[in-house]
Amino acid sequence: MPDPDRGTDRAGRRAKRFLSPLQKYEIFLQLVRHEVTMNEAAERWQVDRNTISRIRVVAKEGALEALAKLMLVEGKGRWG
């Protein structure tokens, strides 16, 4: 259901919705906990499904990168 407060752009498309980092994290947690599907999250947060998909991908990549850095730090301590 479109939000009448958001309006449309000149092409008649729904205006962009900008999410804060905290909101993105909450969406990610809801997905991880299986509280919502991607479609449900998109409807609930009034964003495109591609936005939800991108949030999930970025969060996963960030987590893997952070874990890799932790492993490097731990690895150097053992060898050095």
pLDDT of residue 44: 96
Please name which of 27, 65, 22, 60 lies closest in space to residue 44, comparing C-alpha atoms. 27
Assigned domain for 14 exists:
no
Q: Is residue 24's pLDDT more than 60?
A: yes
Instruction: Show the domain range for 28.
Output: 21-79
Check if the beta carbon of residue 65 is closer than 8 Å to that of residue 71. Answer: no
Q: Any residues with CB less than 8 A from the CB of 28 and at least 6 apart, and which?
A: 55, 56, 59
Assigned domain for 5 exists:
no
Mean local confidence (pLDDT), 13-28: 90
For residue 13, the SS3 value is coil
pLDDT of residue 58: 97
Q: State how many domains the chain has.
A: 1
For residue 33, the SS3 value is coil
Assigned domain for 4 exists:
no
Assigned domain for 64 exists:
yes
pLDDT of residue 27: 97
